[in-house]
Amino acid sequence: MGSFGLLSVPPLAFAQGVLVDTFFVESSSPSGAAGATSLQSGATYRVVVDGTFSYWDAMTWQIGTPCGNPEATPIHPSAPTDGLVGTDPEWTFAANSQDPLCGGTLPSPGPNVEFDLGVGQGWTTIPTTTPLYAPGHEYEYSIVGEGAPLRIHVADGVYADNYGQLRVRVFVPGDVIDNPCLLDPGATLVDFELFPIGATSNPLTVSDVTFSAGPGLGIVSVEPFGANGSEVEGKALIPFASGSFPSGGYSTMTLTFIPPVRQVGLGWWDPNWANNMLVVRDAAGTVLATASPPQFPPSGCCAAFLGAAFGADIIASVEVVPHSGGDWYAIDNVAYFRGQPTSPLGASYCAAAANSTGVAGTLLVSGSDVVAQNDLRLCAYDLPEDQFGYFLASRAQATPPIAPPGSQGLLCLAGNIGRFNAPLQVVRGPADSIQVDLTAVPVNPVQAAQPGDTWNFQCWYRDVGNTNNFTDAVSVLLQ
C-alpha cells in the first residue's frame, strides 16, 4: 500500500474561511472588547476589522473647517452621541481643523487598533495584510491563537471623547483541497490492507477515526479493476447498499474524528457520476465545506483525491455522499492531521513552464532538513494525469537553466545529477511523492548527504503528445 506523500505548503489563499466569532469594540473604552471564542493555541486565524470612529468629540469637529474627507456618521454607531468621523482601523482620513494632521497628507497611516491575545503580553500592534487605504474601511489581519479569546481596543491616550464602534470578525481560514501535497507530513494515514475481504464491523474504528454507513461496511479489492493511482490501492472500504455483503456501494459513509482535526484527505475510487459530494462539518454539525471529486467516464475505473484543510482543529466529521441515483464507490488512504502544521523546506528557484493541464508542475520539499533524522520528502503536483516522472537531485544549479531538446520546460540542475528512478520511486500524475534516503542520494557515485550541504531538487515528467516537462526547482540547506 502506497501513501499520498503527505506534504505541507505555505498558507493557502483561502477565500473567506469559517466564521467563528463576531464582536464589537467601542472606541471610547480603554479595555476594548473580547470575543467569546477561545482561539486554539498555534492555530491560524483570519481577523477582519471594519468600521469608523472619531478621536474627537462632535463639538470639536464644528471648530473651523475639517481637513480631509470626513464621513457623516460611524459605520457602526455608538449610543447616544455620534457625529463626523475621520479614522478607521489603519488610517486617519479626516481631522478637525485644530489637529496637526491637517498640516500633512491625508489619509495618514496608523495603526489605530491594538490586539491582546490574552497571554499576559499586553497590547500589541499586528500589521494588516490589507496593504493600502481601504475606502470601505475594512482590514484583514493574520494571527496565531494563544489559547484565549482575542481582545481589541482603539489605540489612544484619551478615550472619553471618542465615539463609533469597530466590528471584529474572526475566521478560521480553510477550504477543500484537491491534491495530497497540501496535507502535512505528520498526518496519520489509514489504509485497509490488513483487513480481510468481506463484511466488517459497522461502525469501524481505526486509530481515532470512526467509519460508519447505514446498511453496513466491507472491505473489497480494487486491483481487478486496473490502475487506480496512488489514491486507492489494494484494498478499500466500501459501504453496503443493503444489509448484506457485497451489495453495492451506494450509501453515504461518515468519518468521525474525536477530537476534531485540522486536515483530512482521502482517495475516492470510481467517482464516475456528477453530484458525488464530500461534506465537511464541525462538531456542531455546521457545514464547513463541500466539494465534488473529478468526474471520469463511467466505463473506466479510476480514483481521485479529495479533502479539506483549515487553520484550526475544527473538522469533526466528513461525509462521503454518492449521487442521488446511487453509485458504487470506495475510499482508501484516509489521512488526517491535528495541531500546528510544519513549514515547507528550502527555497524555490527557476520558474516552471505550463504543461498540458494549463498550469505548471510544482515541487514541494517537506519533512526535516536535519541529516541525522533522514526524513526529507519530495512531492510534485499539478502534473498531467497518469503521466510518469521522477525526481532529480544535484549539488549544483544550472545557470542559466538548460532547455533540453524536445522538452517544454527547463532543467535547473547541473553537474552530477542523480535520478530517483528506481521502481518504487517513479511518480505518476497528478500528484505523487517519495521520501529521500539522505544516506544514499543516487548521484554517481552514490553519496551520503552531510550537514552543511546544499542539495537542489527538481521533478522531470512526461506529458501528453510525446513531450516532457519539469517542475520548478527547490534548494535545501541541510543541517
What are the strands, taking DSSP E only, across 39-173? 44-51, 67-68, 91-92, 94-95, 108-109, 113-116, 138-144, 149-154, 165-172
CATH class of the 177-337 domain in this structure: mainly beta
Whether 177-337 and 18-172 are alike in CATH topology: the answer is yes
pLDDT at 471: 96
Q: Does 2.60.120.430 match the CATH number of domain 18-172?
A: yes
Q: Indicate the residue type of 471.
A: T
Give the integer Cα–Cα distance in Å for 240 and 226: 22
Give the integer Cα–Cα distance in Å for 270 and 296: 8
The grid cell for 130 is: 490589507
Reported as a single tens digit per residue, the pLDDT across 287-314 is: 998 888 876 544 445 678 889 999 899 9
Give the integer Cα–Cα distance in Å for 220 and 218: 7
Specify whether the CB–CB gap between 231 and 333 falls below 8 A: yes
Give the integer Cα–Cα distance in Å for 37 and 215: 38
- Reduced to 3 states (helix: H, G, I; strand: E, B; else coil), residue 60 is helix
Helices (H), 276-414: none
Give the integer Cα–Cα distance in Å for 84 and 362: 51
Query: CATH number of the domain at 347-477, please?
Result: 2.60.40.10
pLDDT at 226: 54
Positions in the chain short of pLDDT 70: 1-16, 119-120, 224-230, 241-249, 272, 295-302, 324-327
User: pTM to 2 decimals?
Assistant: 0.74
pLDDT at 6: 33
pLDDT at 466: 86
**Owner of C-alpha cell 517537506:** 366
**Owner of C-alpha cell 464516475:** 272
- In terms of Cα–Cα distance, which of 451, 297, 473 is closest to 394? 473
Q: What are the extents of the domains in the chain? A: 18-172, 177-337, 347-477
What are the strands, taking DSSP E only, across 128-228? 138-144, 149-154, 165-172, 174-177, 188-190, 198-200, 204-206, 209-213, 217-221
